[in-house]
Amino acid sequence: MTEGMSLRERKKLQTRHRLLAAATALFAERGFDKVSVAEIAEAAEVSKMTVFNYFAGKEDLVLAPMEEHIGDVARAVRDRASGESVLAAVRGQFLACVERRDPSVGMSDAPVVLRVRRLIVETPALLTRAHAFSMRSFDLLAEALVEEGEEPAIARVVAAQLIGTRNALIQANQLRLLAGESADAVAPDAVALAERAFGLLADGLADFATRP
C-alpha cells in the first residue's frame, strides 16, 4: 500500500491508521457514545486538532474504511470489459472480494474488523450512516447506468436489485463471522450463495417460489 509514497505520505497514513485503531479499541471497550474525541487523541498520542484534520467527527473514525468502498459497484460497471453485462461485472467483483476475504463484502474475520462490525450494529447512529452509504452506492450505480443511455427509472430498478442482492449477501457473511465462524469456513458457502443469488437475477423471478 505504501509503495511509491513519500515519507510525508507514509507518516500521514500511519497517523490515520493509529487513530482508527485507538478509536476502535476505545469504542469496543466502552461504547461509541461514551468515548470523546479528546480521549481518542490522547490514546493515539496526537492533539485533538489532529483528529479533526483527518476525520470530520467520531462517526468517521468508525466508518471511514467503509466509506472508501461506496463507489465499488459503480466502478466495476464502468470498468467492465467489452461484451460483459452489468450483472456479470457486479457478480465478478463480489466473488473476487470473497476470494480475497475483503471486509467490504463481510468476509474478513480480523478481530478489529469484527469489533467495528459489532459496533455499527449496536450503535443506531452508525447503523443509520452505514445505511446512507448503501443508498449512495445505489445512486452511483444508477448514475453509471444512466450515463450509458439507460432510462433513469429502469436504471434505478436495476440498481436496486443489484445493490439489494449484494447487501443481503454481505449481511449473511457478517452474521456467520460475528457468530464465531472463520472467513475460510464461510467462503465456500458465500460463493455458492452468491452464485445462486446472482443466478436468480440472471434468470428472473418469474418461477421463483411458485406455490404447488
Q: Nearest-CA neighbor of 96 among 194, 210, 11, 201?
A: 194
Helical axes 124-147 vs 152-178, angle rounded to 10°: 140
pLDDT for 59-105, tens place per residue?
998 898 888 899 999 999 999 999 999 999 999 999 999 999 999 99
pLDDT at 204: 87
Average pLDDT for the chain: 92
What span, in angstroms and rounded, lies between the C-alpha atoms of 53 and 48?
9
- And the C-alpha cell for 158? 436495476
Rounded to whole angstroms, the Cα distance separating 44 from 23 reads: 8
Q: What is the DSSP string of 121-181?
A: HH-HHHHHHHHHHHHHHHHHHHHHHHHTT--HHHHHHHHHHHHHHHHHHHHHHHHHHHTT-
User: Mean pLDDT throughout 192-212?
Assistant: 84
For 134, what's the count of Cα atoms within 13 Å in the CB-facing half-sphere? 18
pTM of the model as a whole: 0.86
pLDDT by residue (tens digit) across 16-66? 989 988 998 898 888 888 999 999 999 999 999 999 999 988 999 889 888
Instruction: Give percent of the chain with pLDDT exceeding 70.
Output: 96
Walk me through the domains of the chain, giving residue ranges and CATH numbers.
7-56 (1.10.10.60), 69-203 (no CATH)
Tell me what pLDDT residue 109 has. Answer: 95
Is residue 184's pLDDT more than 80?
A: yes
**What are the grid coordinates assigned to 57, written together?**
467527527
